[in-house]
Amino acid sequence: MKQNTYIFIIIVLTFILSSCTRSQEEIREGPLNQYNNKPIKELEEETVDPIIKLIEDMDLEQKIGQLFIIGFNGTSMKPWIKDMIREYYIGGFILFKDNMSSIEQTLELLNSLKEENKNNPIPLFLSIDEEGGRVHRLPKSFLNMPTAKQIGDINNENISFQYGKILAKRIKALGFNMDFAPVMDINSNPKNPVIGDRAFGSNRDIVSHNGIQVMEGIRSENIISVIKHFPGHGDTSIDSHWDLPIINKDIKELKELELTPFLKGIESGVEGIMIGHIMFPKIDNTYPATLSKEIITNLLRKELSFEGVIISDDMSMGAIAKNYTIEDAAIKYLKAGGDILLLCHGEENPIIVMERIKEEVEKGRITEEEIDEKVYRILKLKEKYNISNDTIQKIDVQSINQDTKILLDKIKELKNQ
């Protein structure tokens, strides 16, 4: 893109960010707004929207880059990561435990990603799976948090909210802006090898009530909460990291159990939902949920009226990798209605998929208007949470651990009552 176009985009984004700082009440209002599912051309006729103008001045490569959150190996910036930022305009990154050896190193790594992205007008999603319990990624300097199951057993609204708030404070202090949490799965299958105590319980009301409060606690710190794994991973006996789970339930049965927490999340205004790699043959006997238009578009978008950003579970997991090439799966996901592809492993995977998406657009199998609608939802979310490339220079771990200790003492007190 030419230099004058970059300058224009920077001016527009500066306007967006400077005029859109939100209070926490505004952040918690509900679905993004009435525009999210309308075609770009129709939006232009109705309102002057700076995000639309921004999208109009992006080239196809920049738009495609926004459709990705990717992972990488190591604890420091690598040349290929710089290329993903400079040449491929990547939308965001996810960090895991192996990426974080200490608080100082993690802060430096996240700052380096932001610094590298400063020449790009659109800031990065910096995401993490920080659920508490056994799914925790942060350095050991932070105190351990209880499992979701322990929070569900207490079933106290204030405890659940504070639990989410502390999860968010930890990652916010380091520079993250998105948490793939909480888990909204109902652990209804005792043989489930992957959910277990990551769920708030086996009762839909307990999962819904506590999950929503944790979500609200996360959002209260201006961190994006992405609930997972739609439409429900609780009644599985196979771990989707290794193979494809199958759940033989129809829509009516899902509505009676699995879908309840997600519907409550949508009603509470959740902005991000992760799709799980699960097969529901009574709903779609061809594709798993991640690749299913019946589940993503017809069920989640239309029937449940979700207007936010849809994110895939890691597309390099066994459930997908054993059955599809990464590029074929990615295209099916996007055509089914998904917005962001999560690719946690494989340096070559993002470029392979990006090239395939570009090819699909050039051949008319995916329209640029479809890409624009996905990018609109993504940029709207970045705008809503006032995401920026600003770096963080210091972190008060002691203060956060003090807050954590207060919560842990309260949990212990309630358990002993």
Share of the chain above pLDDT 90, in %: 80
Quick one: pLDDT band at residue 354, thresholds 50, 70, 90? very high
Flag whether pLDDT at 6 surpasses 90.
Answer: no
What is the reported pTM? 0.88
Flag whether pLDDT at 372 surpasses 50.
Answer: yes
Token readout for 186 is 């109902």
pLDDT for 24: 41
pLDDT for 5: 42
CA 20 from centre of chain: 21
Nearest to 234 by CA among 191, 289, 190, 185: 185
pLDDT for 4: 42
Which residue type does 187 have?
N
State the Cα–Cα distance between residues 129 and 158, nearest whole angstrom.
Answer: 22
Query: Under a CB-based contact definition with an 8 Å cutoff, are residues 16 and 121 in contact?
Result: no
What is the arithmetic mean of pLDDT over 410-416?
Answer: 90
Flag whether pLDDT at 237 surpasses 90.
Answer: no
Q: pLDDT by residue (tens digit) across 296-345?
A: 999 999 999 999 999 999 999 988 989 999 999 999 999 999 999 999 99
What is the arithmetic mean of pLDDT over 108-124?
Answer: 96
Burial class (CB in 10 A: 0-12, 13-18, 19+), 84: buried
What is the arithmetic mean of pLDDT over 228-243?
Answer: 79
Which residue type does 19 have?
S
- Annotated catalytic residue within 241, 328, 345, 403: 241
Cα of first residue to Cα of last residue in the chain, in angstroms, is 64
Which residue type does 156 have?
N
pLDDT for 357: 98
Flag whether pLDDT at 348 surpasses 60.
Answer: yes
Flag whether pLDDT at 28 surpasses 70.
Answer: no
The number of CA neighbours under 13 Å toward the Cβ of 229 is: 25
Q: What is the largest CA-CA distance in the chain?
A: 66
Nearest to 239 by CA among 282, 197, 195: 195
CATH fold for domain 3-415:
TIM Barrel (3.20.20)
pLDDT for 38: 58
Candidate from 7-11, 230-234, 279-283, 305-309 with smallest mean pLDDT: 7-11
What one-character-per-residue DSSP string does 211-223 give? HHHHHHHHHTTT-
Q: Is 241 a catalytic residue?
A: yes
State the Cα–Cα distance between residues 120 and 85, nearest whole angstrom.
Answer: 8
Q: What's the mean pLDDT when you consider all of the chain?
A: 89
State the Cα–Cα distance between residues 338 and 287, nearest whole angstrom.
Answer: 14
Q: What angle do CA 48, 341, 62 make, to 5 degrees?
A: 45
Query: Going by DSSP bridges, is the β-strand pair 125-128/92-95 parallel, antiparallel, or unpaired?
Result: parallel
Sign of CA dihedral 395, 398, 399, 401: positive
Q: pLDDT by residue (tens digit) across 191-202?
A: 777 788 999 999
Flag whether pLDDT at 179 surpasses 50.
Answer: yes
Number of CB atoms found within 10 A of residue 219's CB: 23
Q: pLDDT by residue (tens digit) across 251-291?
A: 999 999 999 999 999 999 999 999 999 999 999 999 999 99
Quick one: pLDDT band at residue 31, thresholds 50, 70, 90? very low
Flag whether pLDDT at 3 surpasses 60.
Answer: no
What is the arithmetic mean of pLDDT over 371-379?
Answer: 98
- Annotated catalytic residue within 185, 313, 314, 372: 313
Nearest to 384 by CA among 225, 230, 264: 225
Quick one: pLDDT band at residue 347, thresholds 50, 70, 90? very high
Token readout for 206 is 């307990």
pLDDT for 158: 97
Flag whether pLDDT at 35 surpasses 60.
Answer: no
Q: Where are the domains of the chain?
A: 3-415
Token readout for 212 is 């929503």
Token readout for 331 is 């295209």
Quick one: pLDDT band at residue 10, thresholds 50, 70, 90? very low
Tokens 């699909």 identify what position? Answer: 360
Quick one: pLDDT band at residue 36, thresholds 50, 70, 90? low
Flag whether pLDDT at 37 surpasses 90.
Answer: no
